[in-house]
Amino acid sequence: MADLSKLYDAVVAGRIEAAGTLTRRALSGGSAPGTILNESLVPAMAEVGARFGRNEYYIPDMLISAEAMKTAMGILQPALVTAGVEPVGSVAIGTIKGDLHDIGKNLVAAMLEGNGFQVFNLGMNVAPEQFAAAVKEHEVDLIAISALLTTTMINMKEVIDILDREGLREQVKVIIGGAPVTPDYAEKIGADGFSDNANGAVNLTKQLISGSGERL
Ligand code: B12
């Protein structure tokens, strides 16, 4: 537990090497990967955001904390992902056009992989056309779109519009998420579901792919 609060401090302070060392130590000390994630790393990034919101942190501070988070995630990811499981479905995930925030998206991708989904991670700043192309190329069951900015979340609707225009909408589910996204917004743009966290994203994906077909 002591290590988890040290890890939290390291990510908030942007101490990249310490974040890596403390993640390894927490894992070898027996902390569950989910505990490390949810009790240390995710709250640390929330604190970084809060400090930015209060003008106590600036962009370089956010960047360096994001690097510390990524280092920790790189170590945690293999522990989150169970190897050798038959894919239970396939997902294309990306951060929407104009948006360079990829930590939450990568977390959702890792959790999906860890739950047996085949994941095509399209990266960040993904154009709506690229999501449609992934549906055609990989015949994915579901598209997961992330947005962290109020100015970019509006681009999510373009993905659904393109899927409609190209006659692909019926064959693929669409879920959205990211800090500014709300269930109302998901409903408004015609997405099939929303979650504000990675576990919720996995549950949503399971429900939608198993074919309830309902909007969640
Ligand atoms: C780190 C960070 C950055 C880093 C990003 C590095 C990277 N590689 O990702 C850098 C420094 C590059 C950055 C830049 C900017 N940022 Co910034 N950033 C953040 C910060 C501090 C943390 C984001 C994060 O990683 N959170 C941790 C992850 C784990 O959480 P998450 O992303 O929310 O993801 C979870 C859920 O949302 C959900 N989820 C996420 N995606 C999806 C997808 C699906 C399908 C589902 C179901 C769920 C889901 O599950 C995830 C796991 O639980 C946030 C503050 C915050 N509290 O969000 C600001 C924040 C998002 N940034 C902000 C701003 C303003 C900017 C800049 C415009 C600053 C500037 N003036 O240049 C630029 C924009 C650059 C761009 N074009 O994208 C504002 C946005 C305000 C707004 N309402 O639009 C925030 C909220 C800060 C603030 N308090 O004002 N940023």
Q: What structural domains and CATH numbers belong to the chain?
A: 2-80 (1.10.1240.10), 90-209 (3.40.50.280)
Best of 91, 101, 117, 142 for a ligand 1 pocket test (most atoms within 8 Å of beta carbon): 101
Quick one: which H or E segment has residue 96? strand 90-96
Quick one: which H or E segment has residue 106? helix 103-114
The rounded Cα 67 to chain-centroid distance in angstroms is 16
How many helices (H) does the chain have, and how many strands (E)? 11, 5
Is residue 80 pLDDT above 80, yes or no?
no
pLDDT, average across residues 14-21:
96
Between residues 103 and 128, the one the model is more confident about? 128
What size, in residues, is the chain?
216
User: Does ligand 1 lie within 6 Å of residue 148's CB atom?
Assistant: yes
Give the 3-state secondary structure of residue 192. coil
Q: How confident is the model at residue 130 (pLDDT cuts 50, 70, 90)?
A: very high
Q: Which residue in 7, 14, 18 sits closest to 41, CA to CA?
A: 7
- pTM, whole model, 2 decimals? 0.85
CA dihedral 209, 210, 213, 215 (to 10 degrees): -70
Q: How confident is the model at residue 76 (pLDDT cuts 50, 70, 90)?
A: confident
User: Does ligand 1 lie within 6 Å of residue 104's CB atom?
Assistant: yes
pLDDT, average across residues 185-199:
93
Is residue 213 pLDDT above 50, yes or no?
no
Q: Provide, rounded to the nearest whole percent, the portion of the chain with pLDDT above 70.
A: 93
Mean per-residue pLDDT of the chain: 90
Residue 216 confidence (pLDDT)? 46
Q: Which residue in 114, 96, 86 sits closest to 198, CA to CA?
A: 114
User: Does ligand 1 lie within 6 Å of residue 144's CB atom?
Assistant: yes
Residue 5 confidence (pLDDT)? 95
Is residue 215 pLDDT above 80, yes or no?
no
Residue 114 confidence (pLDDT)? 65
How far apart CA 95 and CA 106 sit, in angstroms, is: 9
User: Does ligand 1 lie within 6 Å of residue 201's CB atom?
Assistant: yes
Residue 62 Cα, ligand 1 centroid: separation in angstroms?
A: 9
User: Does ligand 1 lie within 6 Å of residue 18's CB atom?
Assistant: no
Is residue 85 pLDDT above 70, yes or no?
no
Are the C-beta atoms of 104 and 178 separated by less than 8 Å?
A: yes
User: Does ligand 1 lie within 6 Å of residue 108's CB atom?
Assistant: yes
Which ligand 1 atom sits nearest the alpha carbon of residue 101?
Answer: 9
Lowest-confidence pick of 101-110, 127-136, 170-179, 183-192: 101-110
